[in-house]
Amino acid sequence: FKKISRDRPSKDELDQMANTFNNMMELLERSYKKQEQFVSDASHELKTPLTVIESYASMLKRWGMERPDILEEAIDAIHSESIRMKQLTGQMLLLAKGDTQWELKIEKIDVADICRETAKYLQQAFERKISIHLNTDHPLMMADGKKIKQLLYILVDNAIKYSEKPIDISISRSNHSLLLAITDYGIGIPKDELARVYERFFRVDKARSRDTGGSGLGLPIAKKIVAAHNGEIHIDSEEGKGTTVTLKFPLHFSNDSKVSLIED
């Protein structure tokens, strides 16, 4: 901005002040509306598991003592809905934190190791084959290992939720970047919905997503983790054919110049 003199601002300077002020008001209004929408969507999302918990708790209160079948069903439902609520609130807190409040613990990580761990865990949990194609020797990068693990978990979990076939993860390197691609051969995302998948709480098919435990917060979190590592995320998808999510990270990542490094 040009500095405005304190004593006698010219007409140009006054115009500039008015413009700046209007732009600021517009930004504030947009950010306020976004917050308002987030709170409203979040309350709505939490209401569903809470209603289930409340109705099962009422059933338990009325018949729990004499009906062991109800007892078991109610405890199971209350347990799984509480897990869902815990997961949801955790995701919301993560998103509600401003970028500067995310404290990244940057260390040297081997992305292939993290992929193997995530794949092993999800492969066992969902009995789905996940193949890792390693096209580079040592895919080392400077990153927050826990966050990268969370990122992979979100993307591979989505690939499992929205497809029934085996999943491929490929790791490669180009110039000074590390490339990761997660490919599934499932239902895909319709073209006109693709741009919206990073919106908080957005799901192409709400019912299906909830059945599979989805909240519509996975990809917004994924995008935030990628951005925090100066990376890029890109989704290619074709309805009925499948989806590939590509991640690109700089090998030399510097978080506020606290770290720099690395080309193995």
Report in angstroms how near the CB of residue 212 gets to ligand ADP at its nearest.
7
Distance of CA 23 to the CA centre of its chain: 30
Q: Which member of 181, 218, 226, 231 binds ligand ADP (CB under 6 A)?
A: 218
Q: Which member of 49, 186, 226, 233 binds ligand ADP (CB under 6 A)?
A: 186
Q: Which member of 189, 225, 226, 247 binds ligand ADP (CB under 6 A)?
A: 189
Identify residues 63-82 at the interface with ligand ADP (CB under 6 A): none
Q: Which member of 179, 209, 233, 255 binds ligand ADP (CB under 6 A)?
A: 209
CB 42 within 8 A of CB 85: no
From 41-49, 112-120, 131-139, 184-192, give the range in contact with ligand ADP by CB under 6 A: 184-192
Q: Is there binding between residue 214 and ligand ADP (CB under 6 A)?
A: yes
User: Which residue number, 142 or 156, has a Cβ lying nearer to ligand ADP?
Assistant: 156
User: Which residue number, 170 or 215, has a Cβ lying nearer to ligand ADP?
Assistant: 215
Backbone phi, psi, residue 192, to 5°: -75, -5
User: Which residue number, 73 or 205, has a Cβ lying nearer to ligand ADP?
Assistant: 205
d(CA 176, CA 240): 34
The site that binds ligand ADP (CB under 6 A) totals a number of residues, namely: 22
Report in angstroms how near the CB of residue 84 gets to ligand ADP at its nearest.
11
Q: How many CB atoms lie within 10 A of CB 222?
A: 23
Residue with tokens 């761990």: 117
3-class secondary-structure state, position 153:
helix
The pair of three-digit structure tokens given for residue 251, joined into one six-digit string: 């090998």
List Cβ neighbours of 70 (8 Å cut-off, separation of 6 or more): 59, 60, 63, 64
From residue 107 to residue 146, what is the string marking binding to ligand ADP with x (rule CB under 6 A)? ----------------------------------------
Q: Is there binding between residue 243 and ligand ADP (CB under 6 A)?
A: yes
Q: Is there binding between residue 45 and ligand ADP (CB under 6 A)?
A: no
From 5-13, 126-134, 136-144, 198-206, give the range in contact with ligand ADP by CB under 6 A: 198-206
Report in angstroms how near the CB of residue 119 gets to ligand ADP at its nearest.
15
CB 110 within 8 A of CB 140: yes
Pairing, β 232-238 against β 130-134: unpaired
d(CA 57, CA 60): 5
Q: How many CB atoms lie within 10 A of CB 171?
A: 20
Distance of CA 22 to the CA centre of its chain: 33
- Residue 198 C-beta-side C-alpha neighbours within 13 Å: 11
Q: Is there binding between residue 188 and ligand ADP (CB under 6 A)?
A: yes
The pair of three-digit structure tokens given for residue 41, joined into one six-digit string: 């969507």
Q: Which residues bind ligand ADP (CB under 6 A)?
A: 158-159, 161-162, 184, 186-189, 197, 202-205, 209, 214-219, 243
